[in-house]
Amino acid sequence: MGLYSRKHTALSAVRPGATVAVPNDPVNLERALKILRDAGWIGLKANANPVDVTELDVTANPSGIRIVPLEAAQAPRALDDVDFAAIQGNFAIFSGLKLTEALALEKMTAPYINVVAVRRGQAETPWARAIVAAYRSDAFQAAIRADRFYDGFTLPDYFR
């Protein structure tokens, strides 16, 4: 997830009353609020539960921003109407935005890094091993690295 703007070129451009669009679903809202916290725009309740976090978990707002929750898929379209928008990578890509153009990116940590997961007892099945092998293959890694859409994404540790 990145923080984008069509009106400003730097995080320092934030002013009291600036509107910041954030996803309205709890997990992605938490991710967006952490970007705003890391930018120094807000304070956030420590250890807020990611499945039920809301704007009420904001403990300080020294920048005086106005947080505007909306459906995550609408964030790219809202860029002309808000000062800043926290936009998930998939919506950024499909809207022609690049993570390398974001004013700030989230710090990708667990539980937000993608993993291949299967039910217990199925990890050693041929189909599960085939998925893992494909995901870890040189061809897959080369395809991801060659696709400029993925510039800025945090890649798994095993990528060479």
pTM, to two decimals: 0.79
Residue 99 and residue 159 in one domain:
no
Residue 38 and residue 89 in one domain:
yes
Residue 118 and residue 160 in one domain:
yes
Q: How confident is the model at residue 106 (pLDDT cuts 50, 70, 90)?
A: confident
Residue 88 and residue 118 in one domain:
no
Residue 119 and residue 71 in one domain:
no
Residue 99 and residue 124 in one domain:
no
What's the CATH number where 63 sits? 3.40.190.10
**How far apart, in whole angstroms, are the C-alpha atoms of residue 14 and residue 11?**
6
> H-type helices in 95-149, by residue range?
126-135, 138-146
Convert the pLDDT of each residue in 26-74 to its tens digit: 889 999 999 999 999 999 988 777 777 888 889 999 999 999 999 999 9
Whole-number pLDDT of residue 145 = 77
Residue 76 and residue 136 in one domain:
no
pLDDT averaged over every residue in the chain: 88
Tally of domains within the chain: 2
Q: 76: domain range?
A: 2-105
Residue 120 and residue 96 in one domain:
no
Residue 55 and residue 92 in one domain:
yes
| Helix and strand element counts for the chain (H, E) | 5, 7
Q: 86: burial class by Cβ within 10 Å (0-12, 13-18, 19+)?
A: buried
Q: How many CB atoms are located within 10 Å of the residue 21 CB?
A: 28
Residue 101 and residue 28 in one domain:
yes
Residue 26 and residue 80 in one domain:
yes
Average pLDDT over residues 63-89: 96
**How far apart, in whole angstroms, are the C-alpha atoms of residue 92 and residue 81?**
16
More confident residue, 58 or 157: 58
Whether the pLDDT of residue 12 is over 90: the answer is: yes
Q: How confident is the model at residue 84 (pLDDT cuts 50, 70, 90)?
A: very high
Q: 8: burial class by Cβ within 10 Å (0-12, 13-18, 19+)?
A: middle
Residue 88 and residue 122 in one domain:
no
